[in-house]
Amino acid sequence: MADGAAGEGGSDRGQAGDSRTEKCLELFFGSTKPLEGPLSVLEKAMRTKQRVLVVTRHGSGVRGVCLGLVTAFDKHFNVVLRDVDERYTVLHKRAPDEGASGASAKRWKKKLGYYKRHLPQVLLRGEGIVLVSLSGGAGGEENAAMRYFGGQPS
């Protein structure tokens, strides 16, 4: 009886079909049967513990890419990722120099900044997600992120 009680605890966390995954799928979708369509990519990544590449956007274009493990998701494509590596861009605007004259004195200077950070866990709202893709293997996702940024240093 002690063996059965030990088996019900948290000892099977690392298995692909663990009970947390099943409970999450049943809670959000009403059953544990495999999903169809675009959500099946997230389900497969969650069941197999495979990293996903998520392209995110802001109001006027692509913001960046996130690489991480799917912890949870819902039908609106809201996704919780853990162990996330993110690369993103920010447009910095600088006020014109006070000593400048002419047309350049009125223009704000714009510069695109490239950034990289690691997040232990993040919630991505489905509205801001452009693309979700399974990682292509060892280093494939890093290459995809570098292609997105055109080889810019982080």
Check if the beta carbon of residue 62 is closer than 8 Å to that of residue 56: yes
Chain segment 55-66, per-residue pLDDT in tens: 999 988 899 999
* Domain ranges (residues) in the chain: 33-148
Q: What CATH number is given for 33-148 in this structure?
A: 2.30.30.100
Chain segment 41-54, per-residue pLDDT in tens: 998 898 899 999 99
Chain segment 69-85, per-residue pLDDT in tens: 999 998 899 999 999 99
Check if the beta carbon of residue 105 is closer than 8 Å to that of residue 97: yes
pTM of the model: 0.68
Residue 62: count other Cβ atoms within 10 Å of its Cβ.
14
**Eight-class DSSP state of 55:** E
